[in-house]
């Protein structure tokens, strides 16, 4: 008897609902490794921001990477912990400066690809018909071209152009090239998700209340697919860093400033001579951020998508 009264009382107590996000963060916090990786990512972001601020304020370190801090090809030592390159420049400073370039490129390229991919995917999925046909045709064509070749072609076309009086050079070319070519993946995902959801009750209800297509997409559908955007963002971020490295390695990236790709490119010639430190420093920097992004992105997907939950 008392038990049943207790249960009734419990039932009467309002249950505090948890949103998908709070739920996901709670789950994410339990994963130690993912949190460590998140810390690493924050550290990289901090470095990139620091370098950017230093550049704005005219502070010298580490933007003075083009000052000799020792003899040419000094091996790692107390003064230059990552050693020096052919000109006697500190490799530590180059790596730090490269962090800014790489993260900047990856960030802007991601934003650009989301800005293009998400509305297009949503429009294709929601409206269907002719609009869908056109968008699917565009992305099928783009995705039929090998990715790296496509980026290369875009980078070559965009290089040294001056649209609207703004000269495209170095990092700007790179993130435009990457952003303009890599929206296909996210566009497809969003299209599929919208296709799946557009017949669900809440959408039908909104439609019955006379909401416009735009309102339904932006107010109702997209917020419900946003976890996909976040996951893709974190996973693609890494591939954009790699794309920047490849473009710089091929001489299409930042030409006068150190980026990780450019460092690997120049270290390639030094390696046979036994000067391993520049290559090591740049690859380590890439390795650590790639690993962190990968692990964190995976964890994020697990936590945000309840169907994939493993814990």
Partner 1 sequence: MDNLVLKRIIKTLTITVLAGGGIYVLSFLLRSGGIPENEVVIYSAIGSKIDSLDPGNIGDTSSSSVASQIFECLYDYHYLKRPYQVIPQLAEGLPSVSEDGKVYTIRIKQGIYFTDDPCFEGQRRELTAADFIYSWKRLANIKYLSRNWWVFDGKIDGLDDFREYTKSCKSMDEVDYSRPVQGLQALDKYTLQITLTKPWPQILYLLAHLPTAPVAKEAIDYYGKSIINHPIGTGPFVLDKWNRGSYIEMVRNKCFHDEFYPSEGQPEDLENGYLADAGKKLPFADRLFFMLIQEDPPMWFLFLQGKLDASGIPKDNFQQAIQEGQTLSRELAEKGITLKTFRNPSTYWIGFNMEDPLLGSNKPLRQAIACCIDKKRYIDLFTNNRAEVADGFIPPLMKSYDPDIKEKGFGFDIERGKKLVEQAKQLNQGSLPVLTLAMPSTDVVARQYGQFYKKSFKEIGLELEVDYMDWPTYLGKMHQKDFQMFQSGWVADYPDAENFLQLFYGKNVSPGPNNFNYVDPEFDKLYERASAMLDTPERTQLYRQAEAMIIEECPAVFLLHGVAFTLHHSWVENYKPNTFQYGLSKFRRIDVEKRKAYRYK
Nearer residue to partner 1 within complex by CB, 126 or 240:
240
CA distance 155 to 176: 8
Contact 311, 59 (CB under 8 A): no
Which residues contact partner 1 by CB under 8 A? 66, 72, 86-87, 251-252, 255-256, 262, 265-266, 268-269, 272-274
Cβ neighbours around 100 below 10 Å, total: 24
CB of 206 to partner 1, least distance (A): 40
CB of 3 to partner 1, least distance (A): 56
CB of 304 to partner 1, least distance (A): 22
CB of 74 to partner 1, least distance (A): 14
DSSP assignment string, 83-99: -B-TT-BBHHHHHHHHH
Could you tell me which of 299, 285, 298, 272 has the C-alpha nearest to residue 242?
285
Token pair in block for residue 139: 């992305």
Nearer residue to partner 1 within complex by CB, 193 or 254:
254
CB of 13 to partner 1, least distance (A): 50
Contact 248, 261 (CB under 8 A): yes
CB of 192 to partner 1, least distance (A): 22
Nearer residue to partner 1 within complex by CB, 223 or 251:
251
Nearer residue to partner 1 within complex by CB, 127 or 147:
147
Q: 89 phi and psi, to 5 degrees?
A: -80, 150
**First-residue to last-residue Cα distance in the chain:** 37
Nearer residue to partner 1 within complex by CB, 269 or 284:
269
Partners of 84 in the β-ladder: 90
Token pair in block for residue 74: 């000094």
Nearer residue to partner 1 within complex by CB, 32 or 273:
273
Contact 54, 61 (CB under 8 A): yes
């Amino acid at each position: 008897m008392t038990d049943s009264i207790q249960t009734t009382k419990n039932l009467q107590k309002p249950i505090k609902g948890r949103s998908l996000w709070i739920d996901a963060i709670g789950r994410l916090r339990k994963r130690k490794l993912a949190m460590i990786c998140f810390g690493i990512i924050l550290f990289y972001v901090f470095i990139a921001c620091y370098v950017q601020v230093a550049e704005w304020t005219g502070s010298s370190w580490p933007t003075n990477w083009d000052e000799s801090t020792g003899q040419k090809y000094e091996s790692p030592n107390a003064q230059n912990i990552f050693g020096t390159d052919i000109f006697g420049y500190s490799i530590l400073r180059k790596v730090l400066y490269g962090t800014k370039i790489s993260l900047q490129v990856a960030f802007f390229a991601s934003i650009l690809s989301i800005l293009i991919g998400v509305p297009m995917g949503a429009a294709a999925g929601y409206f269907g018909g002719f609009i869908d046909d056109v968008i699917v045709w565009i992305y099928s064509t783009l995705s039929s071209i090998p990715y790296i070749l496509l980026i290369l072609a875009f980078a070559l076309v965009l290089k040294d152009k001056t649209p609207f009086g703004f000269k495209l050079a170095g990092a700007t070319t790179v993130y435009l090239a990457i952003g303009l070519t890599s929206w296909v993946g996210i566009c497809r995902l969003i299209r599929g998700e919208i296709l799946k959801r557009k017949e669900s009750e809440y959408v039908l209800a909104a439609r019955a209340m006379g909401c416009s297509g735009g309102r339904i997409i932006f107010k109702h559908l997209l917020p419900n697919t946003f976890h996909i955007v976040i996951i893709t963002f974190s996973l693609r971020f890494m591939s954009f860093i790699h794309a920047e490295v490849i473009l710089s390695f091929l001489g299409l990236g930042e030409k006068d400033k150190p980026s990780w790709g450019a460092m690997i490119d120049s270290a390639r010639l030094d390696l046979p001579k036994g000067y391993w430190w520049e290559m090591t420093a740049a690859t380590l920097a890439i390795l650590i951020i790639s690993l962190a992004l990968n692990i964190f992105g995976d964890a994020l997907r697990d936590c945000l998508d309840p169907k994939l939950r493993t814990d």
